Structure 1
Amino acid sequence: MDRSTMSSKRAAGTHRVRAQLHRLGPLVVLGVGVAALVGAVGLSLGELTAPGPGMWPFIVALLLTGSALILVAVDDPADYETWTLGSARIVGGVAGLGVFVVAFDAVGFLLPAFLFLLLWLRIFGRESWWWSLGLALAGSAGFYVLFDLILGVPFPDDVVVELFGG
């Protein structure tokens, strides 16, 4: 087999893989739906006349899983935009949200909220450093005051608040 034939076969294989990339999103949603189904069953479904704490999450997860199955089977690749730098920024934003959730549980609200707002304002919003720092500081402190102090929403122990004797 000559090099041009091998190259064209390799290109055809790459094209087949790229032609199926649109199924990646629905497969991720399917995985989340199945995990949510398992979690809901673990919460106890109860009975229809006396639903348990897992009944509504189970129903929502069932709808999510069913929708994902339909998208995996019949979704049209022509409905999707090509991946660009903007797509990578969206992935970065979602990853930042995941880091925020983990950090929120570990160190409290203020520091992760400040860093998350700073990331979004500076990187995604393309604001100046001064605006980004000021808005991130005001936003994180404002949300902390609103939710923790005024509304009484229980947050995990906050490292920054403890540092300043709160």
Structure 2
Amino acid sequence: MTPSSSAGTAPERSRSDTPLRGLLLRRIAPVVLLVLGIAALVQARDMDLGELTAPGPGLWPFIVAGLLTATAAVLLVVDPAEDYEPWTAGTVRIIAGLAGLALFVVLFQTLGFVVPTVLLLTGWLRYFGGETWRMAVVLGVGGAVVLHLIFVVALGVPFPAGPVDQLLGG
């Protein structure tokens, strides 16, 4: 074999491995969505679904989780993996955003509405929006207070009350 012919076969082998690996990596998204949807269904069911005429706090999350689960299941069966975007460095930003939402949910249950909302808005404005720390904090605090006034005070949505929520009259 000449050096040129051996050099020509090595990239061919790596090319044949790469598409299969890429297809498997692209299937991760619907699998993760399916797992998250099932977990959300279980959690929403545990929150008291209520009835259609008197919905409980878990009804809307249960409906959304059901749609997410069904969509993910359909994507796994019907949608070809080639249709998905490849995983890139930008994927880390998406994962960070999802992790921020997960942290928000955990903190929301323990600290109420205002503190986790300030943290989420501030973090997202700073890292995803590119705002300065000063502007991110101002908008995060202002946004959390406005959302609290809209949902808790004006609309009467029952959220878990944390220490700051009680000060704001929630």
Please report how far the alpha carbon of residue 145 of structure 1 lies from its aligned counterpart in structure 2 after TM superposition.
Answer: 1.4
2:161 paired with 1:141 = no
2:163 paired with 1:159 = yes
Q: 2:86 aligns with which of 60, 68, 82?
A: 82
Q: Is the 8 A contact 2:100 2:120 kept in 1?
A: yes
CA distance in 2, matches of 1:28, 1:10: 27
CA distance in 2, matches of 1:112, 1:37: 23
TM normalised by structure 2 equals 0.67
* Cα distance, 1:34–1:154 mapped onto 2, change above 3 Å: closer
Q: How does 1:3-18 map to 2 (within 5 A)?
A: 16-18=20-22
CA distance in 2, matches of 1:34, 1:12: 34
Percent identity for Structure 1 against Structure 2: 40
What RMSD in Å do the two structures reach over aligned CA positions? 3.9
Unaligned runs of 5+ in 1: 1-7, 45-52
Q: How does 1:28-43 map to 2 (within 5 A)?
A: 28-32=32-36
Partner of 2:72 in structure 1?
68
Partner of 2:29 in structure 1?
25
Number of matched pairs: 152
Per-residue deviation, residues 65-119 of structure 1 (Å, max 9, x unmatched): 5543443244323322222222110111011111101110111011100000001
Partner of 1:117 in structure 2?
121
Per-residue deviation, residues 23-66 of structure 1 (Å, max 9, x unmatched): 1122223334555777899989xxxxxxxx9xx968x83x7555
TM normalised by structure 1 equals 0.68
* Cα distance, 1:154–1:84 mapped onto 2, change above 3 Å: same
Unaligned runs of 5+ in 2: 1-11, 50-55
SS of equivalent residue, structure 2 residue 27: helix
Partner of 1:4 in structure 2?
none
